[in-house]
Amino acid sequence: MDGKTTTMLPSWETVGTAVLLIFSCTLIYGTFHLFSLIPRTEPGIRGLQDERRSEAQLDRPAPPLKASNHVHDGKYHLLLAATGSVATIKIPNILSALAKYKNLSIRVLLSDSAAEFLQGQAGEQPGLQEITKIKNVEAIYRDEDEWRKPWVRGDSILHIELRRWADLMVIAPLSANSLAKLALGFSDNMVSSVARAWDTTGLIDGLREGVQLAPTENGEAKKVIMVAPSMNTAMWNHPATKRHLDVMADDWNVGNGGWFEILQPIDKGLACGDTGGGAMKEWKEIVAAVEAKFPGLREREQDVKMNGVVK
C-alpha cells in the first residue's frame, strides 16, 4: 500500500444503462400524461349515473316555507318522510292513493339515501320531478334546502317550520340507521331534525283551529309521528334494534296514547332475497293509517266513479 486513494469511474456500459432507464421512465410518464389530456368520447358508469340523476332532480329548489301562512288553508297537513331503505319506492304509491283528497296538503321529506331510490331508474321509481306532479304534493325537501342561503337573524328555520306546519309526520320507510338516530336523539339531517324538534307535549304548537284529528288511545287528540320500520331481517332481529324500540316504548309512551306510533313491519320476501321479518308494512295499510288520523278528509268528486271506486 502506497497510501494513495484510487477513484473508480463507472464504465460506459453502466452510464448507458442509466441513461436508457431515465429515458424510458420519462417516455412512460409523458405517454400517460398525454392520454389524460384527451377528452373521453364515451361517458363512464359514473357519468351515466350523474346524467340520470341530473335529469331526475327537481327543476328548482323547494320553496321557502312559513307555517303561519298555512294555518287557515282548510287542509290537513301531512309531512311524509322517507329514509334509506328500498321500501322508499312505495312513496309514489302512497302519494297517488292520497291524491284523491281535496283537503289534504302533502310535503315530502327525503334523506339523501332515500332520494337515491327515486332517480327515474325504473317505472316504479320515478324521478323527483315526476313526483311533484302528483296531486296534493306541495314540495319535496332535501337536506340542502335547510341551507339554500346563509342564515341571518330573523330568517325562518326550515325543520322548525316543517314541524309547525305538519298535523302528522309519517316516516315510511324508517331505516335501521334512522331508527337508531331517533332513539338516541341524533339530529344530523332534515328528517331527524324535524323528529327531534317535535312538540312532544302539545303545548308549543297545539292543534290548528278547525283541524279535527283522531284521538290517540288515551282519548287525546294530538299531533303525532308515525313510523314504518323497514330493514333486513337480520337487522330487525339485532339486539340494538330491540334496545331502540324499548326506548320508544318506555320513554316515548308508544302504544299508550303517546306522541309516537310504530307501524310494525311484516314477514315477507325482501328485495335482498332474504325472507323474514323487517319488511315495511304494506303501503295500502300506511295509507289507511293516515286516513284514520284525518277523519275529515273529503274526496274530489271528479275522482270517484259511479260505482264508488276511486280512480
Q: Cell 284525518: give the residue.
A: 294
Question: Which residue from 208, 226, 217 is spatially nearest to 77, judged by alpha carbons?
Answer: 208
Task: Please state the domain extents for the chain.
Answer: 53-302
Residue 253 gets the label, from left (phi > 0), alpha (psi -120 to 50) or beta, of left
Cβ burial of 276 (10 Å; 0-12, 13-18, 19+) is middle
Output the pLDDT for position 308: 43
Output the pLDDT for position 44: 45
Per-residue pLDDT tens digits for 155-209: 899 999 999 999 999 999 999 999 999 999 999 999 999 999 999 988 899 899 9
Greatest pairwise CA separation for the chain in angstroms: 122
CB atoms within 10 A of CB 204: 11
Query: CATH second-level architecture of 53-302?
Result: 3-Layer(aba) Sandwich (3.40)
Q: How far is CA 66 from CA 38, 43, 71, 156, 304, in A?
A: 50, 42, 10, 7, 33
Output the pLDDT for position 40: 45
Residues identified as active-site: 272
As a three-state string, the secondary structure of 86-101 is HHHHHHHHHHHHHCCE
CB atoms within 10 A of CB 116: 15
Per-residue pLDDT tens digits for 45-103: 444 444 444 445 565 677 789 999 999 999 999 999 999 999 999 999 999 999 999 99
What whole-number distance in Å separates Cα of residue 221 and Cα of residue 95?
Answer: 24
pLDDT category, 287, cuts 50, 70, 90? very high
Output the pLDDT for position 271: 73
CB-CB contact of 127 with 118 (8 Å): yes
Compare 179 and 15 and report the one with higher pLDDT.
Answer: 179
CB-CB contact of 193 with 159 (8 Å): yes
Mean pLDDT of all residues in the chain? Answer: 83
pLDDT category, 293, cuts 50, 70, 90? very high
- Dihedral (Cα; 128, 228, 251, 110), 10-degree rounding: -10
Which three cell numbers mark 110?
Answer: 327525503
